[in-house]
Amino acid sequence: MSRANAYVSLSSGSPAIGTAGVLARVRDMPRPSAVPRAALVGLAGALLLMALAVAVPDVLDWNVRVNDWPPLHAVWDPRLGAGTVPAVLVAVLAGVTAVPLAERLSWPKLLMVSLAAGLVWMLALALVDGWDGIGVILDTSYEYLRTARSTTDFGATLEEYVSRISYDAPDNWPVHIAGHPPGALLFFVMLVRLGLGDGLSAGLVVTVIAATTAPAVLSTLKTLGAEKAARAAAPFLTLGPAAIWQAVSADAMFAAVGAWGLAALAVSATRSTRAATVTWAVVAGLLLGYVVMMSYGLPLLGILAVTILWLGRSWLPLPVAVLAAAAVVGAFAVAGFYYWEALPELRERYWEGVGGRRPEAYWIWANLAAFAFSAGPVVGAGLGLLVARRRDRPRLRERMSPGETRPPRSSEQVAWAIAAAGWLTVLAADASQLSRAEVERIWLPFVPWCLVACAFLPAPWRRPALVVQLVAALLTQHLLLTGW
């Protein structure tokens, strides 16, 4: 729309606004080329960062202590497999239909299609390596299943959990058991008890749970009044390179639990009755408390939780959710695992191990490159748009006249705040330096919240941007063996 047409449209539709008001609105409109330029700069920046992270260790002969294709924990292994044709077909179909379908499907159907499409995409990519792409990974010596199958008394395991984290401890835990609170192990112990303790069964369960992450994030956006942004972002939340690591990775299961906890918190913050607010706050607290007991890095989801409460304009859920989350942590403490004792033990083991040998000068920025590989390069375009559209950020303090009610926040404002909070979690995780390398899977819980910024892509850009994501996923899966 030209500025002249905008003037006519606004002035004729709202005559009471007046010339000054119309001119103010026109002045605030983004320039026609500003949004595409911001997206291009962000995309180019992400691609450049990814290229540098690959090239620098090789050019400088720099051992950054990861497998031979940094910044990813991967090896170069070009191949085709059983999942190649299905994955390409899904990519072609999604590239043609995903964007228009997200706009016109009814909301319940959009959630169901998002779940189904995400699951099919994950499985097709994993099956490039045949059934081993699903059934082998969780059964390796670093992962949870072997320990879960040998655990006959989980109470006794909790009592000795902290004492076995250190490298110096006799019979110290495998890497992933030591590196996570026992909530993760308990999940796999329960799978074993249910008869789902072999690698393939557990891998399928984890992948199905991971596929629910996108619907959870979409539900959060809609609950907060951002259905328009949710529909625009839906293809990017459902389809992309993250699916490579979502299939079988326990971190993807953590992401889903955290996403549903935040979705419940959004419902709590927007309920009109105290009973509903409290009930949903308890649900949110239990889920978020349990996700804290799955990964030491996921208290950072608190940044998103506070943002959601602020957007929902209700702080009543906060104490209720905190108490429910504390009850989860307290229950593990009563059973013998003290979170506050485990964390320093983990830090010591991390710095004694490979983490302490991975150079900070590389990983402080290469982590972000690995994140871009996982989220897909279009996450950079989203970040560029987030910066360019600062005018859409909600105000911390809204000036109100006496007796005036607060207007609902726009879809753009909600999307801006959620995506900004997602990026804050990433930057906080990077600054902690407790995840040097392997963040392509470790930071999966942050990926969809950052991709919400893709809702700001101009409509004609969405399909090409989605194709970039799909092609990036196909190339990564077929050229690299990631190990997850």
- Domains of the chain, by residue range, sit at 44-391+409-481
Q: In the prediction, which pLDDT does 391 show?
A: 78
Q: What is the H or E stretch that residue 215 is in? A: helix 213-223
Residue listed under structure tokens 């600062």:
390
Q: What is the pLDDT of residue 34?
A: 63
Cα separation, 62 vs 11, in Å, equals 62
d(CA 309, CA 305): 6
Query: How many angstroms separate the CA atoms of 283 and 260, rounded?
Result: 9
Is the pLDDT at 53 greater than 90? The verdict is: yes
What is the rounded CA–CA span in Å between residue 421 and residue 438?
22
**What is the pLDDT, as a whole number, of residue 267?**
98
3-state SS, 71-118, equals CCCCEECCCCCCCHHHHHHHHHHHHHHHHHHHHHCCHHHHHHHHHHHH
User: Quick one: tokens of 464?
Assistant: 């090409």
Q: How far apart are CA 452 and CA 217, in angstroms?
A: 9
Name the region of 433 (left: φ>0; alpha: ψ -120 to 50; beta: rest): left
Half-sphere exposure of 70 (CA within 13 A, CB side): 24
Which range has the worst mean pLDDT, 22-26, 308-312, 461-465, 472-476?
22-26
The residues facing 76 across adjacent strands are 480
From the list 473, 479, 477, the residue with the least C-alpha distance to 238 is 473
What dihedral do alpha carbons 439, 355, 248, 480 form, nearest 10°?
Answer: 70
Mean pLDDT of 52-77: 95
pLDDT tens per residue across span 438-468:
999 999 999 999 999 999 999 999 999 999 9
Q: Flag whether pLDDT at 92 surpasses 60.
A: yes
SS3 320: helix
HSE, side-chain direction, 13 A CA sphere, residue 462? 27
The CB-side HSE value for 424 (13 A sphere, CA atoms) comes to 15
Please state, in angstroms and as integers, the Cα–Cα distance from residue 125 to each residue in 112, 129, 295, 468, 483, following that order: 20, 8, 26, 16, 13
Kindly state the tokens that stand for 61.
């002969």
- For the chain, give me the number of helices (H) and strands (E)? 26, 2
pLDDT one-digit tens code per residue, 293-316: 999 999 999 999 999 999 999 999
Q: What is the mean pLDDT of residues 422-444?
A: 95
Residues pairing with 481 in the sheet: 75
Tell me, what's the pLDDT at 16?
39
**Which runs of consecutive H residues, i.e. helices, occur in 358-458?**
360-375, 378-388, 411-432, 439-442, 447-451
Average pLDDT over residues 269-287: 97
pLDDT of 35 strictly over 80: no
Closest CA to 473 of 95, 19, 205: 95
